[in-house]
């Protein structure tokens, strides 16, 4: 199944006999939780999912947004009405970071039909989609996580891919270069990683670029057939959007969930700065 769905396609599916479960995953780095925005208006029937508590474990040595405990993640998804036999569509406010994190976790945990709403809530309203403020109470789902559906990287494996394949750094270029670091204790990047900010995956309207454009972009970054590809960011959130874009381009990529927040927490790990991979 294609990993994204357009607003018009979603409207048709919601009106059909087998409507998807909708998950609202609005989230901003350093910002307030998205529940307040959700309460002011969300797609009809959508359930709010908190990225910090439902889609990540407690922050620590494994990073700011490590993998959630599978049992806890499964319980959160069942509360949202998720079942393995029913499609799921995730969305956020526009750029797809939170939505992609939910999509990636569902796919990693074995859900067969998770997708991201291309352009998020903005695309939905621009195409005339209605919003509602009532909070739904969906029936309990039956989803049971079976981890392993998507490839995952440890810090050691991320370093190996930086040497042997292509490791893409999905953060803003100035963070990659080490000029600024607003969140983590050390500035710079994993030696050998290539800068590939997620912002370049999107059009001005906040939608994913066509598959051909994405493929050309990643080829310019060194992605080739049979080349192992990994992705990291600050804490494994925006990198999930990069994995989504790579899948649209026909490339399977592994996610380093701990990302820079895990890597930089260990003073023994090497750090590169500047525009070159190092």
For residue 72, give every residue at least 6 positions away whose Cβ sits within 8 Å of its Cβ, in sequence order, or none.
57
Nearest to residue 34, comparing CAs of 22, 52, 57? 52
pLDDT of the residue at 169: 98
Give the bridge partners for 272, in sequence order: 189
CA 6 to chain centre: 17
pLDDT of the residue at 164: 96
- Has this prediction a pTM greater than 0.95? yes
Helices (H), 86-231: 97-108, 120-126, 155-164, 173-177, 211-220
* Interatomic CA distance for residues 223 and 251, integer angstroms: 8
What is the CATH code of the structural domain delimited by 155-263?
3.40.250.10
Active-site residues, by number, are 233
Q: Supply the DSSP symbol for 85.
A: T
pLDDT of the residue at 30: 76
Of the chain, the end-to-end C-alpha distance in Å amounts to 38
Q: Is residue 245 within 8 Å of residue 208, measured between CB atoms?
A: yes
What is the CATH code of the structural domain delimited by 4-126?
3.40.250.10
* Interatomic CA distance for residues 77 and 55, integer angstroms: 10
pLDDT of the residue at 28: 84
Helices (H), the chain: 7-14, 35-40, 51-54, 70-79, 97-108, 120-126, 155-164, 173-177, 211-220, 238-248, 259-263
- pLDDT < 70: residue spans in the chain: none
- Residue ranges of the chain assigned to CATH 3.40.250.10: 4-126, 155-263
- Using CA atoms in the order 191, 195, 201, 203, what is the torsion angle rounded to 10 degrees? 160
């Amino acid at each position: 199944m294609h990993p994204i769905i357009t607003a018009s396609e979603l409207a048709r599916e919601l009106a059909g006999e087998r409507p998807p479960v909708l998950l609202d995953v609005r989230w901003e780095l350093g910002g307030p939780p998205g529940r307040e925005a959700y309460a002011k208006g969300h797609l009809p029937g959508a359930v709010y999912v908190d990225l910090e508590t439902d889609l990540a474990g407690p922050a620590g040595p494994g990073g700011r947004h490590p993998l959630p405990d599978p049992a806890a993640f499964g319980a959160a998804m069942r509360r949202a009405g998720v079942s393995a036999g029913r499609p799921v569509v995730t969305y956020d406010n526009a750029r797809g970071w939170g939505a992609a994190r939910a999509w990636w976790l569902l796919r990693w945990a074995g859900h067969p039909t998770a997708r991201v709403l291309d352009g998020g809530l903005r695309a939905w309203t621009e195409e005339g989609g209605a919003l509602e403020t009532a909070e739904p109470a969906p029936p309990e789902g039956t989803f049971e996580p079976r981890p392993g559906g998507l490839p995952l990287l440890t810090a050691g494996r991320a370093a190996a891919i930086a040497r042997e394949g292509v490791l893409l750094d999905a953060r803003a270029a100035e963070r990659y270069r080490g000029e600024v670091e607003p969140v983590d204790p050390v500035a710079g990047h994993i030696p050998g990683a290539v800068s590939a900010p997620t912002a370049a995956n999107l059009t001005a309207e906040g939608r994913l670029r066509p598959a051909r454009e994405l493929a050309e972009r990643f080829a310019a970054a060194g992605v080739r057939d049979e080349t192992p590809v990994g992705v990291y960011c600050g804490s494994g959130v925006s990198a999930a959007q990069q994995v989504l874009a790579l899948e649209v381009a026909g490339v399977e990529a592994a996610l380093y969930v701990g990302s820079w927040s895990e890597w930089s927490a260990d003073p023994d790990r090497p750090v590169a700065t500047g525009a070159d991979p190092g």
